[in-house]
Structure formats: structure tokens, C-alpha cells
Amino acid sequence: MRNKGFPKNHPGNAGVILIAILVLVGVVIGVQKYMKSHAPNPDTAMDLPIWKEWRIREKSEKPAVPISDKQVKIPGMVAYDMTARLKGTEDSRGELRISVSQESVFGIWSGTYSNDKKDNFDVQGGGFEGKVFPGKIYKDEKGQDPSKLYFLAKGKFMMHMTSANAKQLNIIGGDIYTRGWLNPDLSIDGELILTSDEKYSQVFTFKATRPEVKN
């Protein structure tokens, strides 16, 4: 029986394929617009995983919020040398240097430390950079404090871990995030967060009462 459909090289096939491609492109664009319009506001959402907050801010097309009259004013750039600590403890987790200006933040995490299992960690690389986001207002159980200035940064880390038991050297790497608050007296506090898969993360804290350097 003769096939009454289009031959394989019939121009009608090309038209159908083109229409299908255009429909697919339209669907993709529509989904992207929907996700952008329904993404949480990182300035008000307090429970976002830090990697999700970073991606939302990175993709945002909103103009930057200017620093308000109530927020701390930074004299040029200030730099801090601090010890990172395991959250909730005084256990050292390497050394941290952060520089902050009215618009940007950058720094590096370095050093060596051991955990409770006596595994040894040697940080080979932990640089990060990011921005200041005045639109995020500090809030805790006592209420809001509009004088603080929020910052968020991202980078990559790599370190050597030597197991105390097996004496085996492992190389660990992934994303490093830094976020925190600059206070009116120029003291600083925040968190350093490491993750290799965005499912498990380690949280270290840092604080300093005053900057080591003012430019």
C-alpha cells in the first residue's frame, strides 16, 4: 500500500520541526520568567540555604539598593584578621582575613586545624569575593536593627585531610561562602560555610571587635 504521508524529504516536515522548536523555546522562556517572578526575596527570607540565596542574588535584575542614612558608613575599606571557629564552640578552624568596603567584600581562609577525631586539615585554597547588600535588614528575637550592613561572598576551597587512624591523605574541595554583618562600631561577625554537594555543609563562625586596617 502506498504511504500517503509526507515523504521524508518533504518541506512540510521541516515546518513541523520548526514549530516544535519554537514552542519548546517559548516554554523554556516562560518557565524562566515564572521562576524569576516567584523566587523568594533574599532581603526578607531568613531561612534560605546560603547557596540558594547566592544564586537568586546573582540572577537578580533588580537595581542595587543604596545604603540608608541609618546604616554604618565604612571609611574607605576596612580589613579584619580573625580565627574561624566551629559553630557553638571555641575550637579553631583556621584563619580568616576579610576586607569590606561600602560595595564589595573579599578575603581568604587559610591555616591548619584538627577535629575531635584528631584528623588534620591543611587549607590549600579558600579565596572568596562578593558584595554588600544594604537591602537586607538585620532581625533577631529582639527585633530589627537597621544600622547593620549585610555582606555575602562566594569562592572555592581545597584542603588536605590526613586521617588520624589510617594516616591516609584525602583532598577535599568545594564551594566556600561567607556572610555576615558589619556593625556601627565597625565590629564584624558572621559565618563561613563549606559545602561540596549542597546537601551537607560545615558552618564556622567569626567575629572581631574592630578592624585591623583602615584605608
Does the pTM surpass 0.85? The reply is: no
Fold of the 50-214 domain: Porin (2.40.160)
pLDDT digits (tens, 9 = 90+) for 189-198: 999 999 999 9
pLDDT of residue 125: 87
* Amino acid of residue 164: A
Q: How is residue 6 written as a grid cell? A: 509526507
What's the mean pLDDT when you consider all of the chain?
86
Q: What angle do CA 191, 193, 197 make, to 5 degrees?
A: 160
* 15 three-state secondary structure: helix
Where does 87-168 show beta strands of DSSP type E?
92-101, 104-114, 120-132, 138-140, 143-145, 149-162
- Report, as an integer, the average pLDDT of 169-186: 94
Q: Contact 75/207 with Cβ under 8 angstroms?
A: no
Residue percentage of the chain with pLDDT more than 70: 83
